[in-house]
């Protein structure tokens, strides 16, 4: 399974994906976060919330591209979901493959050895940012949004970030519930 996922995503990345320099992407995201911090008067809880919301909207749409390109069937287990998110999802959009750790049927963690969003980034030394700001919080939203589109309501959050001086950047995803297919009102 994991072998074929790798071949699939290698092929996707090589042949099917339009690419752009990651530095320019990093820079754009960085100046957005910086501006957001200034606008919201360094209220980092608020910044995190806005980043997550933005990510959620992005996630809703990224999943469309994922379907259009991969043709993968429904995941049978949450374990499998974790693999696909890391090996195909992250690979085809950010060209990194996070490690999947601590996986069981209800949760998994993604450890990002490389994080294209946070390259060359230093958090401001105001005594607060290191404790409160999750710089890459947009990813939390992306995961929530994207997984919601495949009927998985999840709770996602960062537990550590190298930018804060931690050893790893770890993003935890917990399954809340599997959503039922709902038929829109008036279309039975």
Partner 1 sequence: MSTSNVAVNEAGNDLFRKEVNTLCLDYLLMETIPLSLRVTKTLSDSSKGVPTQGIRQLKIDPKKPEEEDLLFRSGGIDILLDDTAIQDENSIFRIESYGYEIGTKLADCLIYMKSDGNLQISQPLDIMKFICRDVWKLLYSKQMDNLRTNHSGTFVLIDHNFRLISNMASPLGDPDTLKRASLYLWFPCGIIRGILFSLGLEASVHAEITQFPSVSFNIQTNQS
Give the footprint of partner 1 on this chain (CB under 8 A). Answer: 17-25, 27-32, 34-36, 39-40, 43, 45-46, 48-50, 53-54, 56-58, 60-62, 65, 92-95, 116, 148
| Residue environment code for 139-149, b if the CB has 16+ CB neighbours within 10 A, otherwise e | bbbbbbbbbbb
CB of 57 to partner 1, least distance (A): 5
C-beta of 95 vs 168, nearer to partner 1: 95
Query: Measured from the CB atom, is 130 or 157 closer to partner 1?
Result: 157
Q: Which is nearer to partner 1, 64 or 104 (CB)?
A: 64
In the complex, least distance from residue 62 CB atom to partner 1, rounded to whole angstroms:
7
Terminal-residue alpha carbon distance, the chain? 37
DSSP per residue over 73-141, as a string? ---SSHHHHHHHIIIIIIHHHHS--PEEES--SSEEEEE-S--GGGTT-----SSSHHHH--TTTHHHH
> Please, which residue, 56 or 103, has the CB nearer to partner 1?
56
């Amino acid at each position: 399974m994991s072998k074929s996922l790798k071949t699939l995503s290698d092929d996707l990345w090589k042949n099917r994906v339009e690419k752009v320099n990651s530095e320019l992407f990093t820079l754009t995201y960085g100046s957005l976060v910086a501006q957001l911090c200034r606008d919201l008067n360094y209220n980092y809880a608020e910044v995190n919330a806005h980043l997550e919301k933005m990510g959620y909207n992005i996630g809703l749409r990224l999943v469309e591209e994922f379907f259009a390109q991969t043709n993968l069937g429904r995941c049978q287990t949450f374990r499998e979901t974790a693999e696909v998110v890391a090996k195909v999802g992250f690979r085809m959009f950010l060209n990194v493959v996070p490690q999947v750790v601590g996986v069981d049927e209800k949760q998994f963690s993604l450890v990002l050895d490389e994080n294209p969003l946070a390259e060359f980034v230093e958090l401001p030394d105001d005594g607060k940012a290191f404790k409160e700001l999750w710089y890459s919080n947009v990813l939390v939203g992306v995961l929530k949004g994207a997984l919601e589109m495949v009927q998985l309501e999840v709770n996602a959050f960062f537990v550590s970030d190298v930018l804060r001086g931690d050893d790893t950047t770890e993003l935890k995803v917990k399954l809340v519930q599997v959503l039922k297919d709902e038929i829109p009102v008036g279309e039975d």
